[in-house]
Amino acid sequence: MSAEIDNRAELDSELYGELADMVADMNVAGNRITPQNDCRSGPPSTTRVSDRKMSLQERGSRMPRQRTIETKRVSITDADDCVQLNQYKLKKEIGKGSYGVVKLAYNEDSEKYYAMKVVSKKRLMKQCGFFRRIPSKGPKPDFPLEKVYKEIAILKKLDHHNVVKLVEVLDDPDEDGLHMAFDLMTKGQVMEVPTDHPFTEEQAHFYFRDIVLGIEYLHHNKIIHRDIKPSNLLLGDDGHVKIADFGVSNEFEGTDAHLSCTAGTPAFMAPEMVTEHELSFSGKALDVWAMGVTLYCFVFGKCPFYDENIISLYSKIKHKPVAFPETPSVSDVLKGLIERMLDKNPETRITIPEIKLNEWVTENGSYPLPLEEEHCTAVEVTEEEVQKGVTLIPKLSTVILIKSMLRKRSFSNPFECLGNRTQRSMSLPGGLLTGPWSLPKASSQTHPTMRKVGKEGSREGELEDLNEDEDDA
């Protein structure tokens, strides 16, 4: 299995290297400063990493986020090397999200590359229990897509240096695919796990502070991520970590979320999530546990609890104490922080405010993190913004109809008597997001303990396993 993972890591490295070359000429990075250390290989540079971070994040000098562009222009065509969706040219697959694939997308209006996540609405409804029997008593569950649209409306307004930005959402009401355009992170995920080349303690310190600030911002806005792990932590062009993939995130009211369902990646799940007798558990504590597993991965290159069998893995998470390898050698204060984050009792587990004051995080108080009110702003989403959370794409037949009318300067129906006009065929563009764009099934499979709980899929020919939905429905 390690050979497959190493091969996958090599392919991912080549892919993101190619993406970096493609967007270099488009000036994706703008005027942002790139740290001298690549942050994934080699020792840190002589210039102190933390000094650069202070200048980027804690001086409060960054520009506010621009509002999401809402465009009503529709152009759907099938070209040789891409599929055009509005102003976006959808190119090759560059990754997989929580319930869909991610494609490289070029925005002709802004002349920039983005990551376009294509998800299956049918799969979403099934995951949210839409196909289950509605209870006869008690409050009726919300329509699944309503929750998704509210999540989208929130993500469009999130504005933090350590959270990936959602740029635009496009939704065809008659199609299964939902398209979400995110800022493209050309450097890819912060780390492949497992790896024989973990971070130095200084590199781990640099990235972990980013994670702490990003999670504090999400919790400030009453969002539990629920799936923090290295593959969901992407590197921006400035070398800083951006938290991504909110596919299993939860909103909450009050001071904390009280969750009762299991979601996330097994190897990063907290003990209270895999205990049958636990009725509910703290959402914030779940994120802290996953952060602890991630920090362990940073410095040791592997998860603290691992087993080929998921049941045995859950048993280790619940009962086995965390153990530290002899190599690489890390400081006792870092081990102490990891132990407090991996406290099996959520009631005594360290919290985000306590982590911010930890001596390893603050370098014995000489390098404090900014206060919550200094880098967090509350996000408020109105009902109108939820309703306008997506750009609706008209039916493809309507687009063809309008184009035909404009071309012929006639308001007659171009679909009338098609059999008598074979010389001017108005057939639909073949293989829209299918046909030659059909995605092959992955040749290498990630071990179940490193994948999310719950199946994920999408549109037939583009996302995997959609036929399973049709069989199960």
Mean pLDDT: which of 50-59, 61-70, 150-159 is highest?
Answer: 150-159
62: tokens are 């960054």
SS in 3 state form for the chain? CHHHHHHHHHHHHHHHHHHHHHHHCCCCCCCCCCCCCCCCCCCCCCCCHHHHHHHHHCCCCCCCCCCCCCCCCCCEEECCCCEEECCEEEEEEEEECCCEEEEEEEECCCCEEEEEEEEEHHHHHHHCCCCCCCCCCCCCCCCHHHHHHHHHHHHCCCCCCCECCEEEEEECCCCCEEEEEEECCCCCECCCCCCCCCCCHHHHHHHHHHHHHHHHHHHHCCEECCCCCHHHEEECCCCCEEECCCCCCEECCCCCCEECCCCCCHHHCCHHHCCCCCCCEEHHHHHHHHHHHHHHHHHHCCCCCCCCCHHHHHHHHHHCCCCCCCCCCCCHHHHHHHHHHCCCCCCCCCCHHHHHCCHHHHCCCCCCCCCHHHHCCCCCCCHHHHHCCCEECCCHHHHHHHHHHHHHCCCCCCCCCHHHCHHHCCCCCCCCCCHHHCCCCCCCCCCHHHCCCCCCCCCCCCCCCHHHHHHHC
Of 57 and 158, the structure prediction assigns the larger pLDDT to: 158
pLDDT confidence of residue 190: 97
Banded model confidence at residue 42, pLDDT cuts 50, 70, 90: very low
Banded model confidence at residue 215, pLDDT cuts 50, 70, 90: very high
pTM of this prediction exceeds 0.75 = no
Banded model confidence at residue 147, pLDDT cuts 50, 70, 90: low
Region 34-44: mean pLDDT is 38
Region 449-467: mean pLDDT is 44
Region 202-216: mean pLDDT is 98
**CA–CA gap between residue 265 and residue 38 (Å, rounded):** 27
Is pLDDT of 158 > 70? yes
- Mean pLDDT of the chain, nearest integer: 73
Mean pLDDT: which of 75-79, 99-103, 212-216, 462-466 is highest?
Answer: 212-216
**Are residues 320 and 373 in contact, defined by beta-carbon separation less than 8 angstroms?**
no
**CA–CA gap between residue 404 and residue 269 (Å, rounded):** 55
Is pLDDT of 285 > 90? yes
Looking at residue 208, its amino acid is F
Is pLDDT of 279 > 90? no
Banded model confidence at residue 247, pLDDT cuts 50, 70, 90: confident
Region 238-262: mean pLDDT is 88
- In the set 171, 172, 176, 227, the catalytic residue is 227
Banded model confidence at residue 326, pLDDT cuts 50, 70, 90: very high
Banded model confidence at residue 85, pLDDT cuts 50, 70, 90: confident
pLDDT confidence of residue 438: 35
Region 337-345: mean pLDDT is 98
Of 296 and 435, the structure prediction assigns the larger pLDDT to: 296
Nearest 5°: the CA angle 154, 158, 160 is: 165
Query: Peptide bond before 194: cis, by omega within 30 degrees of 0?
Result: yes
**Are residues 176 and 167 in contact, defined by beta-carbon separation less than 8 angstroms?**
no
**CA–CA gap between residue 465 and residue 455 (Å, rounded):** 9
Is pLDDT of 344 > 50? yes
**CA–CA gap between residue 303 and residue 313 (Å, rounded):** 11
Is pLDDT of 337 > 60? yes
Is 227 annotated in the active site? Answer: yes
pLDDT tens across 351-389, in order? 999 999 999 999 999 999 999 999 998 877 666 666 666
pLDDT confidence of residue 401: 53
Is pLDDT of 36 > 60? no
Residue 333's Cβ-count burial label (10 Å; 0-12, 13-18, 19+) is: middle
Of 211 and 72, the structure prediction assigns the larger pLDDT to: 211
pLDDT confidence of residue 363: 96
Banded model confidence at residue 473, pLDDT cuts 50, 70, 90: very low
Closest by CA position to 433, among listed 461, 399, 393: 461
**Are residues 207 and 199 in contact, defined by beta-carbon separation less than 8 angstroms?**
yes
pLDDT confidence of residue 260: 81
What percentage of the chain carries pLDDT values higher than 70?
58
pLDDT confidence of residue 460: 33
**CA–CA gap between residue 98 and residue 232 (Å, rounded):** 10
382 Cβ contact partners less than 8 Å away, ≥ 6 residues apart: none
Region 414-432: mean pLDDT is 39
Q: Class of 201-375 per CATH? A: mainly alpha
Annotated binding residues for ATP, written as ranges, equal 117
